[in-house]
Chain A
Amino acid sequence: MQQTEPPAGGQPDIAYPRWRSRILSIFGLLALLVVVITFATSIGSVDLPFSATLQVLVSQIPGIDVMPEAVGDMRIDDVETIVVDIRLPRVLLAGLVGAALALAGATYQGLFRNPLADPYLIGVSQGAALGAVIGFLIPVGSAAIGVGLVPMLAFVGALFSVTIVYLLARVGRAVPVTTLILAGVALGALLGAIGAYLTVTNEEIVYGIIYWLSGSFSLSKWDEVWVVLPIVGVGSVIILLFSRLLNIMQLDEEQAQQLGINVERLKLILLATATLITAAAVSFVGIIGFVGIITPHAVRLIWGADYRFLLPLSLLSGAIFLILADIVARTVASPSEIPIGIITALCGAPFFLYLLRRRAKTLF
């Protein structure tokens, strides 16, 4: 990565920050992410002093024990449970989901070369929702099955849906992008209708389903983090490895093919991985919109469209954004929680519009 090499992709009129600042931005966001995680862990419906939270967090590192003596009239055990078993997994899960959705969104936008692409374009959300509905209908105590029947079936549903879409759209060995989108929209509608039908004819699950669909991090626990982390982690690494090729994909597919890239294989790998991390994200927390489509655009507006930077910056920005949104979701109407999808839309849209006005020329 030499400094004199110009970034791939178009060179618009506006002067983008140069290489060095982009790399610095990545580290900057990483540091910001750590700060935001710490900050988020100190906020909740129970008032705990920041210093106490910090002490508890630091004490989790093996070998260090700086646990506070007393916190008001609460038992230290309870304080630790709150900080480490309730808030921390929730914050981490929010970060993972935000990262996954933003990264998947950026990848889809790159794959489809379409600014309106989001992680739910080809039926992931409807497949996951149908899986969740089936999970709610099966009368097994969900506590009995590890992390739960509903997330498992939602995950399966999401993957199943995209697989069908891919197979439907395939022509020989190629998968035309337009066909993929159309098949995705159609199958998504079908699965969505089936899910809705099952919900309406089984009114006792309506309540649970509505809550699941609107997306929420309440009751997030470590078990879920341990499932989501490896999937999103490995998936992200794979996608990031292909970021340079994604740049070249922004040219016509034919041109990219002529440049020696196995376009179909690349599409399959990126599609599969992006879908995988999206499925992992929505299976536990429901469908959270906006993050996947807006974050990459915001990153593009600030830092440019070079996928080698767009992907990691989207990942980090998505994580930070969703953690902050979750803080708002659980504090604004305390002790009630606002579904996080509402927050992401309310906060994300104006911010994006502002960015849009400032850099109107450089949308895509």
Chain B
Amino acid sequence: MKKVGLLLLSLLLSVSVLIIPAAGCMVEPETETLTKTDIRTITSTEIITETITETITETVSQFLVIDDLGREVAVPAEAMRIVSLAPSNTEILFALGLEDRVYGVTEWCDYPPEAMSKEKVGGYADVDLEKIIAINPDLILAEDLHKAEVIPALEDLGYPVLALVPHNMQEVIDSITMVGMLTGTSDTAEQITDDMSQRVQAVTDATAGLSQEDRLRVLYVVWHDPVMSVGSDTRIHELIEIAGGTNIAEIGGEGYPTLSLEEIISLNPQVIIVNTEDYEGGDASLQAILNEERLSNVDAMVNGQVYGINADLTNRPTPRIVDGLELMAQMIHPELFGAVQ
């Protein structure tokens, strides 16, 4: 690896990449600043200012990135053959207008619909290595569940694999910015992230003044048998809080705690939001909750505040997560955001 590192170093030196004090100038090697600034190491949370973004994308041929799993990856600038190993990554790539540069997606990448016509290189957590080799990508976007086996296998084959693992709304936005920067689509990325930030801010502002009592008790149901909800470290938990609610499952700690019926009755949620999926029978959890007689005395059931929400909108770390947030805000506080259609 050290040899490769030196190779990269010399490559970069020869291309003379550095920070240009004035935007738009021709790039000239500045020998004094060379050693300090010719390698830009970026993490998704270090997204910096506009000027640097502009200059780098014009002149850099490679980035050394530290991805969300803490791995150092050498990513070519403006990757042209991109493979996505997760539906969320596919959504981001298409949102950035990179469809022509996407050569492989997974079986589960169903949004936008155009993504389904791309070559399938993987299922839920597994990948077809032969197909990936045939594509010969110069960038692969993965996620957390690939870290044990898939990522090492791909690394062995020499492909740059970037794992996107955003834990909260801000990190989702940052990951979109980073992908934009790496692929030379920063303008589009900025449009998207600005829009996202604005809309999130709007919801935050509207719920900022709510008292503890007004922050309704929300039960978010991921699965119904047993009832599984979202823990305090999940993105959905944050969505509930931003939308002006309290997640009753946070007593279960982190991850995805299961709640017994007794527990739910005693916690008495005022709003219940249930994951639903698009396919036939994908509302099984919602139906199960609605038909569970033993929960019929709970505030949410009594007041008819039980909703199904498309799981892709709240679960996937993509631009659509703001759609999910806004929907949830309408469910929890129709008086502030309007009723759900």
Contact = CB atoms under 8 A, between A and B. Distances in A.
B71 to A, nearest CB: 27
B124 A219 contact: no
Contacts of A77: 297
A335 B261 CA distance: 10
Interface string A70-94: 0000110110011001110000000
B259 interface: yes
B252 A142 contact: no
B258 A78 contact: no
A143 B265 contact: no
Nearest to B298: A78
A335 B294 contact: no
Nearest to A137: B281
Q: Bin chain B's interface residue count.
A: 20 to 34
Given A139-B279, A204-B279, A46 B266 contact: yes
B262 interface: yes
B260 A337 contact: yes
Interface in B225-280: 225-227, 251-252, 257-263, 265-266, 277, 279-280
Contact of A46 (B252, B262, B282, B294): B262
A218 B227 CA distance: 9
Contacts of A66: none
Nearest to A139: B281
B257 A336 contact: yes
A44 interface: yes
Contacts of B281: 138-141
Interface string A294-334: 00000000000000000000000000000000000010001
B266 to A, nearest CB: 5
Contacts of A85: 293-294
Given A211-B225, A219-B225, A86 B262 contact: yes
Contacts of B283: 141
B223 interface: yes
B262 A44 contact: yes
A256 to B, nearest CB: 46
B291 interface: yes
Nearest to A74: B266
Nearest to B108: A203
Contacts of B260: 44-45, 86, 218, 330, 334-335, 337
Nearest to A81: B294
A243 B288 CA distance: 43
Contacts of A267: none
A197 interface: no
A46 B263 contact: yes
A86 B292 CA distance: 11
B201 interface: no
A44 to B, nearest CB: 5
Interface in B284-318: 284, 287-288, 290-291, 293-294, 297
B262 A82 contact: yes
A337 B288 contact: no
A284 B257 CA distance: 23
A77 B268 CA distance: 13
Nearest to A141: B287
A216 to B, nearest CB: 7
B111 to A, nearest CB: 16
A204 B287 contact: no
A77 B284 CA distance: 28
B266 A203 contact: no
A63 B123 CA distance: 60
B265 A218 contact: no
Contacts of B123: 203
B262 A45 contact: yes
A335 B258 contact: yes
Contacts of A142: 284, 287-288
Contacts of A82: 261-262, 265-266
Contacts of A216: 226
B57 to A, nearest CB: 38
Contacts of A138: 281
Interface of B: 123-124, 223, 225-227, 251-252, 257-263, 265-266, 277, 279-284, 287-288, 290-291, 293-294, 297
Which 6 pairs show the lowest CB-CB distances between chains A and B? A139-B281, A143-B291, A139-B280, A141-B287, A218-B226, A46-B262
Given A86-B262, A218-B258, 13 more contacts: A45-B263, A46-B265, A85-B293, A141-B283, A143-B287, A143-B291, A203-B124, A204-B279, A218-B260, A219-B226, A335-B251, A337-B226, A337-B258
30 contacts: A44-B262, A45-B263, A46-B262, A46-B263, A46-B265, A78-B266, A87-B262, A139-B280, A140-B281, A141-B281, A141-B284, A141-B287, A143-B288, A203-B123, A203-B124, A204-B279, A207-B223, A211-B225, A216-B226, A218-B225, A218-B226, A218-B258, A218-B261, A219-B226, A335-B252, A335-B259, A335-B263, A336-B257, A337-B226, A337-B260
